[in-house]
Structure 1
């Protein structure tokens, strides 16, 4: 039904009537007094019509359409069919408080006769439908992405049904995909559809211990230990002593570690694993089911790691052959995975010569870019040492080529001259410039690991954490250290001076920091060589080997002849944005200055896309780009130089996706309560389900939907009025002419 409706206020109605009477009177008088009454009468009639239109617009005319639904009112019952329904924490209102799964609770609720009562002798249609049903696809990717979306099914109901009287929602409220369900509740409010929610499940987490996260590196060096951090969460009400087991699923190799998990808290730890073969290995972290634990499937988690052979290129720069330099050179030269070059600026004897020595600093980019790690000893800006241009090259190598740089100051204080050079920005500590020669002590002082240092692979000198702590306590101390005030912002302090402190606290002596794409390490004493006492190379060799491999980790993610590709984060999750960075070189090994780099991305489901990387540092052949990870699984990357088919490198990103829909998670009734409140509905507890028919039937009868078009606000009304005014003015002038 359609009609024209006016809503004038008393003032506008009165003013309008008076205006019409006055204008009508004037029109009649003008017509009767005119010498040409017919022509004047037509013009005055137009004047009156314009006045009438203006008055009607002031009275707020609206064209109303009343829509009466042709079908009968409907009540929709939505029930949660997601995998979380397997959680065993729902109590039946049977007087015995029997505990069943959430799915069983919903099934029993749907079988009640109360839903037939809502049909009201056939005057109301009642229908039910599930949402978030698990897909029959059992592939890991499909299972991982399945979740609970409460918003979407409600919005679809509102679109498909125009005569909904109410919606009943049976769910635990634990949504994890889609838009927030409060948006659907607001749309229900606009359509005057109340929501009645029936919470299912308990707000308390089931007694359980679950693996939250495993942050393993993407690859490891064959024969070298890697650190695999993990986190657990316990909802048990008592502490648990258990055994973590890390197993290679292909050959059965195992590593076990006893852990103590506190009650009701998250637990963070790591395990050490040694890769023994090249290629991809699937590892499984697991622990036995504890007494009273109800959820078993989250006690194990698999991940993939790659084993690689290595060939690190290391440059050591020093001014004098001090003991620290000699033993670093000795350790790295005997490391089969390291290709060592040494540049010794001896002030009196001339530059060092012999095996592993070079005579000049590699000033060409194609020569310098090959180094994965650079050690800077007691060297500065001086005749016969480094130049300002060379410090710029070293900084560019770290920031643009993802190389690592290690600062080891000495008692000569030469590194003080680096503070006002580009390398000074990389030094991760603030030095006391009044003491360039450092601080000497009469007794040996040990290093004290920080909490961050105790969990770092760099400082892991034992086979486990307990042994490592014992090793560090027994390491020989140092007699000289750099005059350090504090660490710079963003730096990680791994070890401090055990016997000295200043106004900033413990003096940091082992500090790391990121710089652009690369890493920086600062060791504030020159006595690591003394760790050989009584044990020879056991700890000294291991420490510097770990430093070289840790600092070159990102740079060697995927290295080809002409392209080096690395990315961050190295273990992304679905929905993460991965930053891709590449260094490209020409056939002579010099950084590419003219060319384009592409990356072909193949997703786990076979979809392919190409990304054109943008140049970020022209002199260093650096390029960068971004891609979004949408699925868990293996993402294959193939980077290349446009118009050069031979210049390619391939790698694989492992996107470790958590299963969105987990059993054992606590229910979220507060979500359902907020939705019901917004829509004007109610929260119905389990014991009150039988009363839901009375509450819905008590709702006021839904009025027919009414749509109105405000005619006064339409552009057509304004145009019509302007045209009539223009016509009136023109005719009036013409009438005065004739």
Structure 2
């Protein structure tokens, strides 16, 4: 502890203007006495000034202070990129060595700060700013950062630090890595129309000569299907065409072949999610004859803004002879060739509503419709009594793809449509009957055709005598739905309370057009917050799971599923880290991208410090590699070099700050009051005596 004069302070007894006025008055009196030649003028002036000074109350402040230790911040980057081979051990050894050296320095304290993983990458700048702000600036002697130099918040780095900042890089000088960079990816794409993904394959670091081949193999897979492999050039931006095949999420998985010797393969893959949307759904509705339920289909489809509907009603079949000349008919002729040969592939769904085979379409047209379904199209047959007649579509060449065969019998009696066990699982009909599928709260229908379903077809609803009412089937790449009654319009008219007419017909139509939310075999994933996922498995089987989950690092885990209703199994799951995950349950697979396929930690993995170099330069610090050894720590004065090389290797410096803390404060008047009184009185007396002296004659 040492005593030191801190400063001279004043405690005035009068306002400062009064004290200044007194001092000025004393000066004027002295000046007047000098002008008149009076003896003792100087003593009078001094007496007035002493009185003014006494009224100002001068005092000395004496403080005692204690020296404070210097502070050195050791910042350790423990993010995921430091788990690359050799880096963790390298950092542990360096942190232990530096801690021991700092502990050996007299009057120096160490503050260790750890930077971990964050969704936004390595926030080293934020951590450094907070660490510096938490310490008194006057005590900060230096900052040492153990890192690979890759940070993602450079604007947060502190500016104007009073102490040197040193960066010690992990890794090896010959490290290199190859990564896949997605430059541009579309969020949406029209179904069956190409969109473009722009990407680049980039090499970083000391690439070995045998890897400088100029091209690498790139594999592309959509929704987990078989991958296609192409050779692409290195370090060149290129466009990759992709075609969304269905509505909803189309996950495009892109992967590079692993290169021997590269730092990591975590940045060799990417997942691009493209939301497939339809320009407009094109539906052809053909009504075989006018009937009470005809407008049901028309109203449903016309009310959907995303549907383009073409509707033809056959008012006058060829076998009808009424004597009316064709040129006097007000309706157009049925363009069968254009619709069923030339432009049939333009439609997403064809609906035959009470259609009878009356010679309007030649056999080749039916064969073309069957070909259209097998290649991915869809037809929906809403049948009436004609289904049991000789004019049934089943007797045409189209019959080979229909999911049921009519027995020739029409059942005309009231019945209540009911869901089958399959219907309670199938998303087209699941939930329609409310809480009690055995006793649905809806009205009865009055007529249906009796049919025998084909093997493999799914009977979702039954009617009178438990005969199939709604049959769904897949044919090749397409789909076929058969409704064996034309009485659904009774629900729309509110007969006996009505029923879910519009919802049933909407689901049938959209299932036929392969809407993802109506797939009976599906694996759905809803990403919640962060890495939390809600998984739903829909199936027609009695049980499902467990899910096989393959992580970004290749590890496989099993996740059990819990029943949540007929044909529905669910589970909640939290991924251990961001990346690409492959989910599988039997033949059902899904690719799930949680966060970026390669976290920001692995976007750039070769150690370098371009973002930290400006800070080290302005503070006099250095950027060194730990592969060259842990540098010695020295104490250097302010303004001297804070790094260098010696016989023992590299060294870095910290700047002692000589900071101190005031522990006591004492104020003492410059003179006590009686001393001021004696001083002023003495000056006045001296001036009076000097004035009263006579000069010799």
TM-score range, shorter chain: 0.3 to 0.5
Greater Rg over alpha carbons, structure: 2
Q: Which has the higher contact order (CA 8 A, sep 6+)?
A: 2
